[in-house]
Structure 1
């Protein structure tokens, strides 16, 4: 697994978990999905991704997007 795959998997997990919690517990959990989406847009524009930095420090190899 490389950093790109880890970041996309993590972001997808956060969005799906947020949607599930928004449906089961409270609509305020949908704010987490909004935050994750905003962070993905920000990372696409600037190239800065905190999750990619964390995964790099954990020893994952670089992919094409977050090198």
Structure 2
């Protein structure tokens, strides 16, 4: 598995988890502040799409994960 796939899997997991914890309609609801984390992940995805740089991908490559194509 390449670093770009892992980044997208992690981002998608974070978004779904934070929505489950931040949405009042969810049985896992904890606090609406979890939606701030959802926004944070979204902003980072937008930033990486515009600048073509992602800190998570850089860290994964330093850990020895193969770079994505």
Normalised to the residue count of structure 1, the TM-score between the two structures is: 0.90
Q: Which runs of 4+ in 1 moved over 2 A?
A: none
Q: Which has the higher contact order (CA 8 A, sep 6+)?
A: 1
Name the structure with the higher helix share: 1
Give the unaligned 5+ runs of structure 2: 24-28
Gaps of 5+ in 1: none
* Paired positions, count: 64
- Higher Cα Rg: structure 1 or 2? 2
Q: What TM-score does the superposition give when structure 2 sets the normalisation length? A: 0.88
User: How much is the aligned-residue C-alpha RMSD, in angstroms?
Assistant: 0.7
